[in-house]
């Protein structure tokens, strides 16, 4: 088993040198007590990185701290971040569903209107080094937070009002003061949320235990082992490495018409960010980890089952100039051939990527038991 994350708070104080501990036996003069030295800065949070994972990029402008992560966790579940006081980040990102929401297109924002894209999973975001959102429209987690916070159909919050509400709450002024030198600001809300989300590390599935320990109680059966080989062969062009993603964007052939009259070109994919015609219909590669608990699939949730996803790649690829060449056979025909038995083996393996420890980790659960 992988080691449990260590959340224990430990302060390291510098040695003060020799202390004058004795008072003169004679006379009545008292010596002033020696003050205990103050900590040099916020206590760093040690991110538990699975040993077979690559190292994530450092975030020097928003380093993880114990207080920052604790604050971010509370804010993630906090309804005060929305205009009606009832919608939190967790409304669309449920832990038991790998922090997705289980529906194709959500309607549980403040307006009740359908959103335009499927809520993505949230885990292993410390390795999200090439943009967030399905089209990579935000550079990092800090900037990403302002999208749902201010979107009229999601949380619909005025940032000035958000700061006022937090300042008027019973507990948040102290919590922000403990985490950030400048206290409550909208920027620090985003920083705290980003810190918490970077701690959402999922790397303790049965596959991981097999990878680290080999044969034993976590050993994979013959069908699952065959599934690993098939995934690497047929899916590894995009779902690569131990993260089972490539931090990139691909047009996976689900559409061949990219006309889009919406005010933000939301369905044109990566193109709306880069204006590169070859990015039309390209969306970010999601991880295969926890894929069996995070249906439905694709940027618009159009496939209700993993079987539907595999059928698409086997025989449903739409041929266009911008369809990713990884999805073509050597003879130029679109699609990734898969037999029924191969699909069953792939699905068997995908089940081994479900991280039950992550889905039930109390360190990521809602800490808010009372209203502020």
CA distance 269 to 31: 71
CATH match of 206-354 with 1.10.760.10:
yes
C-alpha 104/C-alpha 186 separation (Å) is 30
Q: β-strands 249-250, 283-284: how paired?
A: antiparallel
Whether the CB-CB separation of 252 and 327 falls below 8 Å is answered with yes
What predicted TM-score, i.e. pTM, was given to this entire model?
Answer: 0.86
Helix axis angle for 186-198 and 159-168, nearest 10°, is 80
How far is it, in rounded angstroms, from Cα 239 to Cα 41? 39
Q: Where are the domains of the chain?
A: 66-202, 206-354
- At residue 280, the 3 state secondary structure works out as coil
Residue-wise pLDDT tens digits, 290-335: 999 999 999 999 999 999 999 999 999 999 999 999 999 999 999 9
Split the chain (372 residues) into runs of 10 and give each run's mean pLDDT: 40 33 38 53 91 92 96 98 96 97 95 94 96 94 96 96 96 97 97 98 96 79 96 96 96 91 81 95 97 97 97 97 96 96 98 98 87 44
CATH superfamily of 66-202: Cytochrome c-like domain (1.10.760.10)
Asked whether 265 and 100 are in contact (CB, 8 A), the reply is no
Q: pLDDT tens-digit profile of 209-266?
A: 999 987 666 789 999 999 999 999 999 999 999 999 999 999 999 999 988 776 678 8
The pLDDT value recorded for residue 18 is: 35
User: What are the structure tokens assigned to 16, written together?
Assistant: 């003060």
């Amino acid at each position: 088993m992988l080691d449990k994350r260590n959340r224990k708070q430990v302060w390291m104080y510098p040695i003060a040198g020799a202390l004058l501990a004795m008072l003169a036996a004679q006379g009545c003069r008292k010596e002033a007590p020696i003050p205990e030295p103050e900590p040099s800065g916020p206590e760093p949070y040690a991110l538990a990185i699975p040993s077979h994972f690559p190292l994530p990029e450092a975030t020097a402008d928003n380093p993880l701290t114990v207080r920052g992560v604790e604050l971010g966790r509370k804010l993630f579940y906090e309804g005060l971040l929305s205009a009606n006081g009832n919608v939190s980040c967790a409304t669309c990102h449920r832990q038991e569903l790998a922090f997705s929401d289980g529906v194709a297109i959500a309607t549980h924002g403040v307006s009740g209107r359908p959103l335009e894209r499927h809520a993505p999973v949230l885990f292993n975001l410390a390795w999200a080094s090439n943009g967030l959102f399905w089209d990579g429209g935000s550079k990092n987690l800090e900037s990403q937070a302002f999208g749902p916070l201010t979107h009229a159909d999601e949380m619909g919050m005025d940032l000035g009002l958000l700061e006022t509400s937090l300042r008027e709450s019973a507990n948040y002024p102290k919590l922000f003061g403990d985490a950030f030198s400048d206290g409550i600001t909208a920027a620090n809300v985003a920083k705290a949320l980003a810190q918490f989300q970077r701690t959402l590390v999922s790397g303790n599935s049965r596959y991981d235990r097999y990878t680290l320990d080999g044969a034993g109680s976590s050993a994979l059966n013959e069908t699952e082992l065959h599934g690993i080989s098939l995934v690497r062969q047929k899916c590894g062009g995009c779902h690569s490495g131990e993260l089972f993603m490539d931090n990139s964007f691909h047009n996976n052939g689900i559409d061949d018409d990219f006309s889009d009259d919406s005010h933000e070109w939301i369905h044109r994919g990566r193109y709306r960010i880069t204006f590169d015609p070859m990015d039309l219909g390209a969306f970010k590669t999601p991880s295969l980890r926890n894929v069996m608990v995070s249906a439905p699939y694709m940027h618009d949730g159009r496939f209700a089952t993993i079987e539907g996803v595999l059928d698409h790649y086997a025989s449903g690829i739409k041929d266009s100039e911008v369809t990713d060449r990884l999805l073509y056979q050597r003879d130029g025909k679109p699609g990734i051939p898969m037999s029924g038995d191969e699909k069953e083996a792939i699905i068997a393996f995908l089940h081994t990527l479900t991280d039950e420890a992550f889905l039930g980790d109390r360190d990521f659960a809602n800490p808010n038991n009372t209203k502020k």
